[in-house]
Structure 1
Amino acid sequence: MMVRLIRVWVIFLAALYSCATPQPPIGGPKDETPPRIDTARSTPNYQVNFTKQPIELIFNEWIQQPQDVAKQVVVSPPIRYMSSLLKLKGKALIVEFDDREVLQEKVTYTINFGEAIKDLSEGNAAKDLRFVFSTGPVLDSLGMQGEVRDFITQKPLENILVMAYDQLNDSIVKKERPLYFGKTDKEGKFYIKNMRGGKFKIFALEDSNQPYLYDAPNEKIAFADSLVSTAPDSSTNIALRIFTELPTLRLLNTDTKRYGLVNLQFNQVPQDIQIAAVTPGIQTRTEIVKDTLKIWYAGETTAANWFLNVRKDSTFKDTLRLKTFAPETYLRTAKLLLQNADSKEFQRQNPEKSLVLTFNHPLNTFDISKLLVIEDSTRQVSPSMIEIDSLNSRKLIIQYKWAEERKYQIRFAPGAVRDLYGLGFRDTVRYNLQAMPRKNYGNMDLKIENLDSTRTYVMELLQGEMPEPVQREVISGKNQVRFLYKTMEPAQYKVKLIEDQDRNGQWDTGSYFKHRQPEPIYIRDLDALRPNWDMDVTVDWEARKQLPKN
């Protein structure tokens, strides 16, 4: 008898739970209608003289618990306490402000729900759902709109904050939240509505930590060059291009583990850095590898430390105190090495290019009388030029008209080269290469059009993911140019064209506090260059203004 009563109670409670808990309908046509607000039973929209109170929005059907509130729900002007703003109660969505929240006086607020409100049955999202109220006697009705794209790729960006400030000092973006803001959609478009009349500072931000403040150096930003006025029906249209500012140069790490080499790691690529050894008798060479400045040095000092001045124009200056190592300890076991030396495998050589040999230490001198170039193992030939690379002294350049499919050997007798430390080869070192046939390579006829002859440009031809360009040209005083590149490696290339406004030979990003937008840049991906192929390429500088689709 007791078991039968328990079963009855279980069945009764299950039935009661199923009646109390909303369930998606089973069968019938698919529901494609989004939930709608029952305006007769909900808190009235578009109120004036609003005081802080719960807002109750009752829908015509069951809705899901709002998802992704931080991205979907936008309150403008921004409020400080968003985490507990929305509560679900039956078919009603309750908007309840935190007790600590203080609403601004005589300001029109807009709550835009995005696609956070969806029905329970099929997940249909309510579109353009907004609740508007004013803490003053008037509802503001002006606004602005626009789009945000990446400065380099020109692709539209989603979830970018576009903020409007009535305070016009530059530092406001770091100190205070905006008066109004909007958020971009998938097409990069934004709309800010219910704004009051006036002129506003416009600042866009890819906000990584959601405080509505520009408070992280790696955050992407954009800004309008001038103040923007509101207009009826949000007809003011703003085009913003997102970029990342160059952070203040900082030295992160100093590595001095051995004699002869100091590695200085920075928070960015250390371009245009000048060094000078304060201690007499110290020679230096430099090399940049990603974010590290390698400083090769040689010399002796009796002091426990030696000093090095490091500076970059007026933005960075430091004097480093470096530990002194006895050179004998390192030089006792150190060797000068040539990459791929004494290999039985013949290295592929482009017949139209100079041979570039890479060593493990910077070179200081070479003796051409002790360096031989042998063709087909028997005939000695004379290179037209041999030199140490002025940009990287670990490289030795040998110019010669290499004959197709011929094999060559470069022989370094002892004393042929000496590095910064005075080290040389102790035995004869050989380097084998073979000139490849020209049919293995492609040719490129590159034309660049619609330039401004009063401006200077830098063109870089990039191969694959290689960081350094394979070709680089500076263009000035011309409307169009043409470059013919022969025997190029078959690969995927792209053209980077920069308007070099400050003529420093590189692309410069923008600076918000200096009111400087990034230098115009256009990157064009090319078709793959194939072997034994002539490829004609025309790059139109004006094409950068044609915005790509998503």
Structure 2
Amino acid sequence: LGDLNRDYKYDNPQEVIAFLDSTVTPSVMQAVRQDTIFLDSLTIDTIKTVQYTRFLPDNLLLRSFVTDFQRKYLQQHERPEPHRLLLQFAAPAPMPTFSLMRPEQPDKEWYVLEKNRGNDSLQLWITDSLVYREDSVIMKINYFRTDSLNRDYIDTDTLLFTVRGAARQRRTERKTKKDESDTIAEPISFLEMKTNLQSTFELFNPVRIEFAEPVVQFDSTYLQLLLQEDSLFHPKPYRFERDTLNPRRYIVRPSWVPGGKYKLVVDSAAIISHYGRWNNGFEQAFTVKDLDQYGNLEMVISGIPEGKAAFVELLNKEDKPFRKSYVKENSARFQDLLPGEFYARLVIDEDGDGYWTTGNYEANRQPELVFYYPGKLVIRAFSDHLEDWDIESVPVTRQKPLEITKNKPEKKKRRDPNMERERSQQQQSSPFSGAGGGRSTGGTGGMRQM
């Protein structure tokens, strides 16, 4: 137990803990070991057989963990723009519920929700003009909160959202419109559209498109993906997806032709946001990398408990995962890997959620098992790599490579008997060592006692 408050008990979910969920029966036995006495660093004087008492079991391995408990509460709420509300929570929690109190809640849906996977960061894009034109918005929200006993309960709160300087901004806009000449046209503010396209595109990447604001409608009919064939560009089919968490993000998944030259085209004013802004014309040409610039990896794995699901993650030099593959028929495959040096770890996925799950002492649940490939994986371009991996061939405590281990073990200093003997002789000959036999009364034989 990492006893943070030093009360000799586990009462803080942020403390590191390890426990055994099975009964241990201690026992003792008589055993012998060899003890070697050296005359110097090379010469052996005596080898003695020493009897001692061995206490069993002496091979227990406890896996420490910190529970995933986090205190839940509302951190902040703000209205950075008239049409956007931001809610930030301290920890992931079930989705809160909210309703308008002022202005009166419309009959139709008045917002578009944008969130992350844990529901701890929410953005409400207000689409009803009668709502976002109000200087202040009052909303009732029901959300999970943690009390002083670390128990979650549903709290109800009333939140006020205001736009800073809204009245001053309106006066400035009216004055500006009055002073400006009618002949001067305002510049068009187009709907911003971002993509992950580059002149050279990775073979395994989909095209990601993100707009600055939620759009009224966007599907595959609004864009064209063209492939150059014999100096002419021809449309190619693709799978079109909308991000389930971010309504401003869309994904285009084609079957790339290695080395192919492509062009993505979106017509001007084809896409309109909920706030009346439309897109500018977009056209970008790019080339997909050829197959000879990638390597493939297959790991044949043994030692996985029967009937257990597992997945393998590839790690970079900072111990960060960047690719995942589920183990199927004792094999994990990775296609189209960039050349380089990687590491790997395997997780026994007990709950089948595709993520490593920590333990819970109250629920008597151990953390999911993790095994590291004990070596380094070197991937070369235009080559297939096959690795055999027995996850139990190396003890768990020595599996993780030192290159990605944060807390590296200290190097043991080799014992040097000659150096120890010289140091002992120097201490005996020192005038402060009290050597010479009799009581020290001063002079060079020792220090004067006061």
Matches within 5 A, 1:1-150: none
For the 8 Å contact 1:309–1:317, the answer to whether it is kept is yes
Matched position secondary structure for 1:239:
coil
For the 8 Å contact 1:383–1:398, the answer to whether it is kept is no
| Alignment match, 2:412 | none
Change (3 A) 1:463 1:317: farther
How far is the alpha carbon of 1:490 from its aligned partner?
A: 2.7
Supply the AA of the counterpart residue of 2:78.
T
| Alignment match, 1:274 | 95
| 1:243 is the counterpart of 2:48 | no
In the alignment, structure 2 segments of 5+ residues that lack a partner are 29-52, 146-150, 174-187, 400-408, 410-450
| Alignment match, 1:305 | 138
| Alignment match, 2:398 | 548
Matched position secondary structure for 1:547:
helix
How far is the alpha carbon of 1:428 from its aligned partner?
A: 0.7
| Alignment match, 1:347 | 199
Change (3 A) 1:298 1:522: farther
How far is the alpha carbon of 1:289 from its aligned partner?
A: 8.1
Query: TM-score, normalising length from structure 1?
Result: 0.50
| Alignment match, 2:86 | 262
| Alignment match, 2:193 | 338
| Alignment match, 1:400 | 254
How far is the alpha carbon of 1:527 from its aligned partner?
A: 1.0
| Alignment match, 2:339 | 490
Change (3 A) 1:535 1:359: farther
Change (3 A) 1:540 1:391: farther
Supply the AA of the counterpart residue of 1:370.
Y
Distance 2:201 2:321 in 1: 19
| 1:372 is the counterpart of 2:228 | no
Distance 1:418 1:453 in 2: 54
For the 8 Å contact 2:271–2:279, the answer to whether it is kept is no
Distance 1:544 1:417 in 2: 57
Indicate the structure whose relative CO is greater, using CA pairs within 8 Å and at least 6 residues apart. 2
How far is the alpha carbon of 1:227 from its aligned partner?
A: 5.8
Q: How many residues align?
A: 332
How far is the alpha carbon of 1:315 from its aligned partner?
A: 4.7
Distance 2:276 2:316 in 1: 35
Distance 1:431 1:318 in 2: 50
Instruction: Give the CA RMSD over aligned residues.
Output: 4.0
Query: TM-score, normalising length from structure 2?
Result: 0.60
Matches within 5 A, 1:177-216: 205-208=1-4, 212-214=8-10, 216=12
Change (3 A) 1:539 1:359: farther
Q: Calculate percent identity across the aligned residue pairs.
A: 21
Distance 2:325 2:237 in 1: 25
Distance 2:305 2:25 in 1: 32
Supply the AA of the counterpart residue of 1:221.
I
Distance 1:362 1:490 in 2: 38
Matched position secondary structure for 1:443:
strand
Distance 2:155 2:22 in 1: 38
For the 8 Å contact 1:500–1:507, the answer to whether it is kept is yes
